[in-house]
Structure 1
Amino acid sequence: MPINIPKNLPATELLKEEKIFVMEEDRSKSQNIRPLNILIFNLMPEKEKTELQLLRLLGNTPLQVNVTFLNTATHVSKNVSKTHLESFYTTFEHVKHRRFDGMIITGAPIELMEFEDVNYWNEIVSIMDWSKTSVTSVLHICWGAQAALYHHYGIGKFPLAKKCSGIYDHTITDPTVKLVRGFNDIFTAPHSRNTSVSREEVEAHPKLKLLSASSDAGVFIVMSEDEKHIMITGHLEYDAHTLAEEYSRDLAKGLTIDIPENYFPNDDTSKQPNNTWRSHTHLLFSNWLNYYVYQETPFEWE
């Protein structure tokens, strides 16, 4: 089934080249189908790259999906054109009267800041509170996961001695949980962050369940007791080359940064990294859309 996206979105042609079934809004309106309405709160600086990564995953299931992109009203994005934001994004004020079947809150390169020091924190809090009653299921990624754990469950983050960057092995604590149905006992996933959360605090919280963790990267997938909130501390959506681009960016800034672990073949930065996490990424997004959005959301919101 197709993913429905705004007309003329730059990612459209790239998705078509990858044989992802996309449908522009005009055509989708002529079909008598109840699509899933997904809100993507994109906090990443390079928004077009994140759009492509997420749309690729949302468009690879049998479910028809309508996507709405949300941007902050209280913070001006510096790495994307004003025209792009005005053409394809909206703000909370324009969607708060609506109901959404699913929502994705992305990461943001601000994890070393205290939550309350982020200049759009109050706006994010309002949106997270609104999602409790207006969204069936919310998928939180990286900093978005840390923000959810802090705001909803009182679990803070702590700085790491060095950046957690690379591809790490993960295990599943309970393979019967629908979100990780079909996962291998050990699977790989990318991480790229300077902070982490306590596994002990997550496991001790009565309203949280730890689904996956890594001996090297720590907590990975956490789900709320009511299955409404899913927190993923890594970046399953990343392309094969994303960590390489971040590594080059950090070097250009003059930062002292290690080579991403388990990433470049033989730690040779001239060699192309392999994507070893793609199948589990698609599986997780497919499971989320099927079990926690499609099968849980009402056909008609009251």
Structure 2
Amino acid sequence: MPINIPKDLPAGEILSEENIFTMDEERAKTQDIRPLNILILNLMPEKERTETQLLRLLSNSPLQVNVEFLHTATYESKNVSKSHLQQFYKSFKDIKHQRFDGMIVTGAPIEQLPFEEVVYWEELTEIMEWTKDHVTSVMHICWGAQAALYHHYGIGKYELPQKLTGVFKHRLLQNNIKLARGSDDEFVVPHSRYTSVCEEEILAHDDLILLSSSEEAGPCTILSKDQKHVMITGHIEYDAETLGDEYHRDTNRGLEPHVPVDYFPDNDPEKKPLNRWRSHAYLMFYNWLNYYVYQETPFSWK
């Protein structure tokens, strides 16, 4: 089945070239089925790139998915045009009266700031509170995962000695959880962040399940026992080139970044990296959509 996206969204052309089945809003209105309505709060600076990455992963399902994009009203991104935001995004006041089957909260390059010092923190906490009654299940990615752990479960973050960047091996710690159904016992996930969360605090929390972890990168996939929240501290949505683009960007800025771990072939930044986490990413999104969104949402919201 297709993923329903706004007409003329730039990601649509890219996905079409990849032979991914998309459908614009006009055609979707003729489909006599109950689609899933997914809201994406996109906090990443390169919004168009993140749109494509997430839509690609949401497309691998027999379910029709309607997508709406949300941006913060209290902070305006400097890396995307105003016309793009006006055409394809809504603010919280525009959608707060609606209910959604699922929601994705992306990462943001602000993890070194205390949560309360983030410009849009108050707005984000209002949105996170709103999800309790208006969204069936929420997937939080990277900083979004840290924000959810802090707001919903009181688990803070701590700063790492240096930026954690690279592709790291992870172990599946629970094999009877639907989110991991079909997963390998070991898989790789990209990470790109300056902070982490304490594994012991997650394990000690009565409302949380630690699904996967890495010796080098720490906790990765955390699930609330009520299935309301899926928190992924890595970037399973990243393209093969994303970590490399971040590395070269920082190098050009004179920041002398560390080469991402186990990412470039032969550890050579001039060689093209391979995507070794694609299958795991598709599986996580498919299982989330099926077991935590589709299977749990009433056919008709009251």
Q: Establish whether TM, by shorter chain, passes 0.5.
A: yes
Query: Any idea what the Cα deviations from partners look like across 1:75-115, whole Å, max 9, x if unmatched?
Result: 01100000000000000001000000000000000000000
Letter in 2 for 1:261: V
In the alignment, structure 2 segments of 5+ residues that lack a partner are: none
Give 1:175 shift. 1.0
Give 1:4 shift. 0.3
Query: Any idea what the Cα deviations from partners look like across 1:51-96, whole Å, max 9, x if unmatched?
Result: 0000001111111000000000010110000000000000000100
1:207-286 matches, cutoff 5 A:
207-286=207-286
Distance 1:147 1:12 in 2: 30
Percent of aligned pairs with the same amino acid: 63
Letter in 2 for 1:98: Q
In the alignment, structure 1 segments of 5+ residues that lack a partner are: none
Q: Which residue of 2 aligns with 1:123?
A: 123
Distance 1:125 1:254 in 2: 35
Give 1:196 shift. 0.1
Q: Which residue of 2 aligns with 1:28?
A: 28
Query: Any idea what the Cα deviations from partners look like across 1:136-158, whole Å, max 9, x if unmatched?
Result: 00000000000000000000000
Query: Any idea what the Cα deviations from partners look like across 1:223-246, whole Å, max 9, x if unmatched?
Result: 011110010000000000000000
Query: How many residue pairs end up in the alignment?
Result: 302
Distance 1:14 1:211 in 2: 33
Distance 1:173 1:246 in 2: 30
Distance 2:79 2:66 in 1: 25
Letter in 1 for 2:215: S
Q: Which residue of 1 aligns with 2:162?
A: 162
SS in 2 for 1:260: coil
Distance 1:161 1:254 in 2: 19
Distance 1:267 1:246 in 2: 15
Q: Which residue of 1 aligns with 2:146?
A: 146
Distance 2:124 2:243 in 1: 26
Letter in 2 for 1:39: L
Q: Which residue of 1 aligns with 2:19?
A: 19
1:171-210 matches, cutoff 5 A:
171-210=171-210
Distance 2:250 2:217 in 1: 20
SS in 2 for 1:93: helix
Give 1:176 shift. 1.2
Length-normalised TM-score, structure 2: 0.99
1:284-295 matches, cutoff 5 A:
284-295=284-295
Give 1:256 shift. 3.0
Query: Any idea what the Cα deviations from partners look like across 1:155-202, whole Å, max 9, x if unmatched?
Result: 000000011100000001111100011111110010000000000000
Superposition RMSD in Å: 0.5
Distance 1:124 1:92 in 2: 10
Query: Any idea what the Cα deviations from partners look like across 1:264-297, whole Å, max 9, x if unmatched?
Result: 0111111111111000100000000000000000
Q: Which moved more, 1:173-182 or 1:95-104?
A: 173-182
Letter in 2 for 1:83: S
Distance 1:50 1:25 in 2: 20
Q: Which residue of 2 aligns with 1:300?
A: 300
Length-normalised TM-score, structure 1: 0.99
Letter in 2 for 1:50: T
Q: Which residue of 2 aligns with 1:137?
A: 137
Letter in 2 for 1:70: L
Q: Does 1:93 align with 2:74?
A: no
